[in-house]
A and B are shown apart, each in its own frame.
Chain A
Amino acid sequence: MTRRRVAVSGIGVVAPGGIGAGQFWDLLSQGRTATRRISLFDPEGLRSQIAAECDFDPAAHGLDAGTVEQCDRYIQFARVAAAEAVRDAGLDPAREDPWRVGATLGTAVGGTTRLEHDYVLVSERGSRWDVDDRRAGPALHRAFAPSTLASSVAEQFGVHGPVQTVSTGCTSGLDAVGYAYHTVAEGRADVCVAGAADSPISPITMACFDAIKATSPNNDDPAHASRPFDADRNGFVMGEGAAVLVLEDLEHARARGAEVYCEIGGYATFGNAHHMTGLTKEGLEMARAIDAALDQARLDGTAVDYVNAHGSGTLQNDRHETAAVKRSLGAHAYATPMSSIKSMVGHSLGAIGAIELVACVLALKHQVVPPTANYTTPDPECDLDYVPRTARERTLRTVLSVGSGFGGFQSAVVLTGTGTRGGRP
């Protein structure tokens, strides 16, 4: 199959501690953490009572009351991130052929927050199975349909091309960008607004991760609770947010005189067929995804200058991923910085893959590797260079971002380019 070159021409992000690419990069490059005791609801009674929350005022970001009423929190995030990305790309949707512009957005749990909110009303706090429809809110059906996410972002820009919502658990963000990359590379659209959003900080989502002890119970010290790769890690810290990248046929970007950040060099995903939540020690499937993505970029493992890790901070994830990266990069893995921004912005489930890709684009732009905050004590089974606590300047041309999701999904995206938004990547 012939493939067109696909560039990243714009980025936007709503992350805890960093709304907008500027604030977001300040947080990452300074190694600050945005994790705290949950304030969105009273978490008393939960095992994990901490999260990385967005201090998000929809009105301050231009969302009118009608949009706020119609759109769940995660879609509000997505719309703000998408507006920033399109603006950043210098793209005027009105000047584009709307049939040649698409949107691909990912989410792991979609409208869960509103679904739970309205459930409490219609069930009278869980007291009846035959819930009372007359108590339901007016936008509940939009929360029920996951395609509301991509639909809402597409409507924002008058998009008429292919529109998809992707939901592959915690790899949704990487996969959404991957699907969009295919859409543009294979010629179904010239521009695709791609990204992901989730707002999972609600009682049901916190409780379901409590039940499998996947989240950190470090309630006494939220700022240092997310500890990827550290020997004392004990689970991930929930996050929320959204990120959007404008993907564009490179020739199309050149024709409109746009400057681009980098190219998508390759994308691959495989299933581990092992367990819905469990990971293997060997990381074979993730390694295969990394190899395939690099292969598409016509690169081998030694070309990778930085690995943006999934690094959730669960015991098994960080070992799995370390094994996978070593398998793909060989001895070069030891010379390659690999960090997890989840140490700072938490794990926003489906959104995080897109947020991490925006972090990668910014790393390329600034030629700086963001650190793994809170990393102090090495785990003998995690023996790579995790960029402890302090960001690091480095020449970056090829950046790899990886992710794992419930359901066994293992995905990898390779970004290539100098990141100087000047000439061609």
Chain B
Amino acid sequence: MRERRRDPRHRGAAVTGLGVVSPHGVGAEPFWKMTADGTSSLTRLGRDGCENYPLKVAGEVRGFDPAALIEETYLVQTDRFTHFALTAAQLALDDARWGPADAASPYSVGVVTAAGSGGGEFGQRELQNLWGQGPRHVGPYQSIAWFYAASTGQISIRNDFKGPCGVVAGDEAGGLDALAHAARTVRRGTDTVVVGATEAPLAPYSIVCQLGYPELSRSGDPGGAYRPFTSAACGFAPAEGGAVLLLEEERTARERGAEVRATVAGHGATFTGASRWAESRAGLARAITTALAEADCRPEEVDVVFADALGVPEADRAEALALADALGPHARRVPVTAPKTGTGRAYCAAPVLDAATAVLAMEHGLVPPTPNVLDICHDLALVTGRAHPAELRTALILSRGLMGLNSALVLRRSAASSSHRRSTLV
């Protein structure tokens, strides 16, 4: 509500830092460059032991050196998904120029992550130790590396963050739910929340687990494996990596001189059943309407939509119709994009990466394109080919999960924020 925002007691959640570890690279800058260029980082799956599965194309994070930022004591006791999370969290803190001295108390900083696949590679290694050699060969870190809470716990410990700590073990939409959870945590009184999601589902057993998803693309062509909204849509390509954002209470952030890059303005979440894609139309529309209402935002104010873009024809149709249901005639005009076709879908991390991309897009005044997608068969202004310049103040981010969750998040560029970054890149 506008009145609420004028209320001096209202605590807004501002994005002040971005940390990205993605198939496009490590760090927000290389990620944005590749995203704005419309480059695809999808490749033939090359991980050890993963060569002979029906899944052929994925978004792998290559050349990642966790030791560049994170101490070895943390690395030995954690899975790759937590290596990503610790790194992305540090990058987000650095990006926000946030240091321990900025915390009023350890209790004023919380950590929230979403996790949809856990420490699969670590877990597979220990399962192999157990079943191949016996129980005494299971190491002491299995108890803290495999479970979904590993990243929140380790980020909290490494940085001495004692505020509210949470974990949403959602499916894809859980990434947006985590952002909303963090924003509400700020609203309830915590100054700062480190929030995000990272996934590392590209180990052999994790891949075998995903093969049961009927939505998974089995194409062997990196250019054709993930083409949502086209007549050639054949499912989605999975990915690893993710993003972490630093959320701070808006006034507290300004007081320490941080740049408020966007605010989390609204969120809506619904459920319409696992793989019931036709029904997701109503669910997604309702989530959008709820998020816009919370943001006190009229449909015409939405400047860009980051689509869920599952790549399953029935689901793509439902999403296009949901946008029409929720935004009315504006749905045909508003630029829609799905840059995740260039990275693949990293489960819970996919919409968090989209949120990071939305912040960058608003700063650069540029809607990034949807790689590998040209011939749209839906009534949407999908941005393809090259980036589309536009004044962007409000971004709508959509996500749906394979288990039936639908979520929508509204990010707004702060009225006071400058657009100085626009000239620096692209």
Verify whether A and B have any Cβ pair under 8 Å: yes
Interface pair B152/A407, CB less than 8 Å apart = yes
Interface pair A160/B272, CB less than 8 Å apart = yes
Residue of B nearest to A137 (CB): B212
One of A148-156, A248-256, A395-403 at the interface = A148-156
Interface pair B209/A126, CB less than 8 Å apart = no
User: Which of A123, A143, A271, A274 is close to B131, meaning CB atoms less than 8 Å apart?
Assistant: A123
CB of B174 within 8 Å of the partner chain: yes
CB of B162 within 8 Å of the partner chain: yes
- Given the interface contacts A141-B213, A276-B154, A408-B157, does A269 sit within 8 Å of B165 by beta carbon? yes
Interface pair B127/A407, CB less than 8 Å apart = no
Give the Cβ gap from B81 to chain A, nearest Cβ, in Å.
Answer: 13
Give the Cβ gap from A134 to chain B, nearest Cβ, in Å.
Answer: 9
Q: Which residues of A contact B64 (CB under 8 A)?
A: none
Interface pair B174/A1, CB less than 8 Å apart = no
Interface pair A161/B271, CB less than 8 Å apart = yes
Give the Cβ gap from A310 to chain B, nearest Cβ, in Å.
Answer: 16
CB of A300 within 8 Å of the partner chain: no
Q: Which residues of B contact A151 (CB under 8 A)?
A: 171, 271, 273-274, 403-405
Residue of A nearest to B120 (CB): A144
One of A109-117, A237-245, A413-421 at the interface = A109-117
Give the Cβ gap from B272 to chain A, nearest Cβ, in Å.
Answer: 6
CB interface residues, A 75-95, toward B, < 8 Å: none
- Given the interface contacts A160-B272, A270-B165, A273-B156, does A138 sit within 8 Å of B212 by beta carbon? yes
The bracket for how many chain B residues form the interface is 35 or more
CB of A282 within 8 Å of the partner chain: no
Q: Which residues of B contact A145 (CB under 8 A)?
A: 116-117, 171, 402-403
Q: Main secondary structure on chain B at its contact with chain A?
A: mixed
Interface pair B403/A162, CB less than 8 Å apart = no
Q: Which residues of A contact B188 (CB under 8 A)?
A: 1
User: Which of B77, B106, B128, B184 is close to A182, meaning CB atoms less than 8 Å apart?
Assistant: B184
Give the Cβ gap from B295 to chain A, nearest Cβ, in Å.
Answer: 14
- Given the interface contacts A160-B271, A162-B269, does A129 sit within 8 Å of B204 by beta carbon? yes
CB of A108 within 8 Å of the partner chain: yes
Interface pair A271/B184, CB less than 8 Å apart = no
What 1/0 flags go to A44-82 for Cβ under 8 Å of B?
A: 011100000000000000000000000000000000000
Report which A residues bind B (CB closer than 8 A). 1, 45-47, 99, 102-103, 107-110, 115-116, 119-120, 122-123, 125-127, 129-131, 133, 136, 138-148, 150-151, 154-155, 159-169, 175, 179, 182, 186, 188, 203-204, 206-212, 214, 268-277, 285, 288, 405-409
Q: Which 8 A-B pairs have the closest CB atoms?
A: A407-B153, A126-B131, A141-B212, A126-B132, A144-B209, A167-B169, A271-B165, A146-B169
